[in-house]
Amino acid sequence: QSALTQPASVSGSPGQSITISCTGTSSDVGGYNYVSWYQQHPGKAPKLMIYDVSNRPSRVSNRFSGSKSGNTASLTISGLQAEDEADYYCTSYTSANTLVFGGGTKLTVL
Amino acid sequence: QVQLVQSGAEVKKPGASVKVSCKASGYTFTTYGISWVRQAPGQGLEWMGWISSYNGNTKFAQSLQGRVTMTTDTSTSTTYMELRSLRSDDTAVYYCGREEAVARGIDYWGQGTLVTVSS
């Protein structure tokens, strides 16, 4: 199972909005509504930000939102803050009943 | 509060096996499965597999089939991940995480266990 494709890096200024894409195939992202997004700060365990494409755990800020169109899922962060600087990973369920991660995107807050 | 506490760091020689534990507390253990994810130094996250805490059913990443075993002990709310025939590229931080089913979102994570494979 090939990794999902994410941009290596994105950046934005405080207060701006950014979007991170996650592209797969019809056998994973496009075939199921089981896409999740994780935030990981250096040296820390990942944190679940979005599950089932667009659902947000209660302890996650509403500045984070998820969506999907065809084989591409997206994570949007609005009102960027310095604390949002981290690595972000998408995941998807696959037709083999497994899970696949994206390669990760480094978000820099300028 | 939900907590997942993993066993400590390990150093192993190539060809050996390692067994990492993940003890859960703060919730009804059998209502969630446990996923295992690893991260090599400076690299991204890699899914290893998932085990049901209810009936022990498992699902593994194809790349690890035949080398990994996951088991669960409901009496102690502890899940184990064993990786055999270790190679240098198995050096990584290994995480366990609570997940209802495969790909439904890992909502709580362990602190990570560093496994170093070196001769």
Residue B35 has a CB neighbour count (10 Å cut-off) of: 29
Return the SS3 of B34.
strand
* Average pLDDT of chain B, as a whole number: 96
Does A48 contact B44 at a Cβ distance shorter than 8 Å? Answer: no
Does A92 contact B103 at a Cβ distance shorter than 8 Å? Answer: yes
Which among A32, A18, A34 is positioned nearest to A105, based on CA atoms?
A18
* Average pLDDT of chain A, as a whole number: 96
| Interface with chain B: mutation pick from A2, A53, A98, highest number of B CBs within 10 Å | A98
Confidence bin at A3 (pLDDT 50/70/90): confident
pLDDT in tens, B57-107: 999 999 998 899 999 999 999 999 999 999 999 999 999 999 998 889 999
Name the residue in chain B with its Cα closest to that of A99. Answer: B103
Share of chain B above pLDDT 90, in %: 96
DSSP A5-74: B--SEEEE-TT--EEEEEE--TTTGGG-S-EEEEEE-TTS--EEEEBTTTB--TTS-TTEEEEEETTEEE
pLDDT at B86: 97
pLDDT in tens, A78-103: 999 999 999 999 999 999 999 999 99
Angle formed at CA B10 by CA B5 and CA B14, multiple of 5 degrees:
140
Share of chain A above pLDDT 90, in %: 97
Return the SS3 of B97.
strand
Does A101 contact B50 at a Cβ distance shorter than 8 Å? Answer: no
pLDDT in tens, A51-68: 999 999 999 999 999 999
Question: For chain B, how many residues are written?
Answer: 119
Share of chain A above pLDDT 70, in %: 99
